[in-house]
Amino acid sequence: MVKKILEMEVPLVYVAGGVAVVVLAVGAGGYSDYAVRADFAKAKQDFASSTMQFESTITDMSTKLADAETENTTLHERLHDEVDRNNEYGQKVESLVSTVAMLDKLSKTDRELLQKYSNVYFLSENFVPASLTNIDSQYTLNKNVTLEIHAQIKTQLERLLHNATADNAPLLVLSAYRSFGTQANLKTSYKITYGAGTANSFSADQGYSEHQLGSTVDFTTPQGGESLAAFDKSSGFTWLQQHAHEYGFILSYPKGNKYFTYEPWHWRYVGVELATKLHADGKYFYDLDQREINTYLVKIFD
């Protein structure tokens, strides 16, 4: 029986084994297909979700990049604005510096130098030029008397005198700076010699003379003996009319002026710029408005 069973068992084992193989095979085959499908579906799902995440990350980053670009543009614009503002401040500072320099220059320049003084305008008896210096005696008529001139005008005056002589129109200085006191004494002596009426016609009272400024001179020729009135016939006077402005000098009281008697010998320093403008326009100092004249003060010694 055992043998029978054993005998039978063999094919049974085989059968059982065969069935198992088939079942396994079928089972295995079925499982693997399902698993692959499931894996695929999961992978697909995973991929889809990853893709979604990735896409959202990209969207996120794009938004951030756009924001960053906008911010960058804004910063760039702000930088530009700052640079512009900086330039503007720079220009303002520059103009302030030049204004300060101009004010400093003005504070050191006597306003009186460009004020009108004649029988209409009065100069304080206390006014004394900032600095006076001697005119080289080779340029003065009377070698025994020392003549003084405003220190910042000396060079221009001596250049004028040197060049006039070089141009065959020799000129010398007869009178220059006169203090308030000197002018008073001079006027008194003129009144004694000529009488008050005559003296008033050619000599200003103290305080009304441009000579007190230290910037005004009376020219004469080396002959000197000729009357002052004849000076306007001299080559020196003709030369002055053509060239004095180049050295900053003007004829204060021309023929026919309504301020003072005609004085062809009497020349006042007002600076090259103003003198040149007056010469070009054919105008006289006393005809200009004082406000316009004042704008030239800062450049008077340039």
Pairing between strand 249-251 and 132-134? unpaired
Q: How many residues of this chain interact with Zn ion, rule: CB under 5 A?
A: 2
The rounded distance, in Å, linking the Cα atoms of 251 and 269 is: 9
Which one of 184-192, 224-232, 265-273, 274-282 is the stretch in contact with Zn ion (CB under 5 A)?
A: 265-273
The three-state secondary structure class of 132 is strand
266 lies in the binding site for Zn ion (CB under 5 A): yes
Q: Among 112, 152, 218, 269, which residue interacts with Zn ion (rule: CB under 5 A)?
A: 218
- Shortest gap between Cβ of 95 and Zn ion (angstroms)? 41
Backbone angles phi, psi at 135, to 5 degrees: -85, 135
- Shortest gap between Cβ of 92 and Zn ion (angstroms)? 46
Looking at the Cβ atoms of 228 and 298, the one nearer to Zn ion is 228
Please write down the HEC assignment for all residues of 240-266: HHHHHHHHCEEECCCCCCCCCCCCCCE
H or E segment to which residue 216 belongs? strand 216-220
Judge whether 274 and 302 are in contact, CB under 8 Å: no
Looking at the Cβ atoms of 58 and 185, the one nearer to Zn ion is 185
187 lies in the binding site for Zn ion (CB under 5 A): no
Residues 193-212 that bind Zn ion (CB under 5 A): none
- Shortest gap between Cβ of 203 and Zn ion (angstroms)? 9
268 lies in the binding site for Zn ion (CB under 5 A): no
Chain residues that interact with Zn ion, rule: CB under 5 A: 218, 266
